[in-house]
Amino acid sequence: MIIIIIIIIIIIIVVVVVVVISIIVVIVIIIIINLINELTIDCLFWLIISGGNSGIGKAAALELAKRGARVIIGCRNKVKAEAAVTLIRRRTGSDAVHYLPLDLASLESVKQFVDMFIKQYGPAYALVNNAGIQ
């Protein structure tokens, strides 16, 4: 009888510990999510987003610019890219959003993009590979 009571007490203690640990994990996750939502990006380098003129790439460029990132949109269509740059600048108040021509289907275009980027902006901080190849 005493062994059964001891086993029940041990089970209760284990359950309580698991519940407390679960609550602590949830609280930590909530804190991390709130910190991420308040994150600003004050970088000295530029972020490159391929295909940043529409869709997910444009949304990423907009969000990153809102958080203080310096964004270069690389895409084939100059008209669409310039429209996206204008929209992102207007919505974020950031002048640190620019466009460079980039056609990922052409290695020559990629080389030209890299050369222009390095000459005009220096080192890149990150690359968001968003664009596809047609």
**Residue 98 in this model has a pLDDT that exceeds 90:** yes
User: Is residue 32 in some structural domain?
Assistant: yes
Residues 6+ apart with CB under 8 A from 45: 70, 122, 123, 124, 125, 126
The tokens for 91 are 């919505």
How many whole angstroms separate alpha carbon 106 and alpha carbon 56? 22
The verdict on 123 and 58 lying in the same domain is yes
We report the CATH number of the domain holding residue 82 as 3.40.50.720
Between the alpha carbon of residue 56 and those of residues 2, 28, 36, 67, 134, the distances in Å are: 63, 29, 19, 17, 17
Are 113 and 54 found together in one domain?
A: yes
Does residue 134 belong to any structural domain of this protein? no
Asked if the structure places residue 133 within a domain, the reply is: no
What domain count does the chain have?
2
Residue-wise pLDDT for 29-82, tens only, equals 777 667 656 656 666 678 999 999 998 899 989 988 988 889 999 999 999 999
Check whether residue 58 and residue 12 sit in a common domain.
no
Instruction: Please state, in angstroms and rounded to a whole number, the distance separating the CA atoms of residues 98 and 52.
Output: 10
Range of the domain at 85: 46-128
Q: Are residues 2 and 66 in the same domain?
A: no
Strand partners, 38: none
Same domain, 105 and 63: yes
Q: What average pLDDT does the chain have?
A: 88
Q: Are residues 70 and 110 in the same domain?
A: yes
Residues 50 and 27 in one domain: no
33 is a domain residue: yes
User: Contact, 28 vs 21, CB < 8 A?
Assistant: no
Same domain membership, residue 85 and residue 67: yes
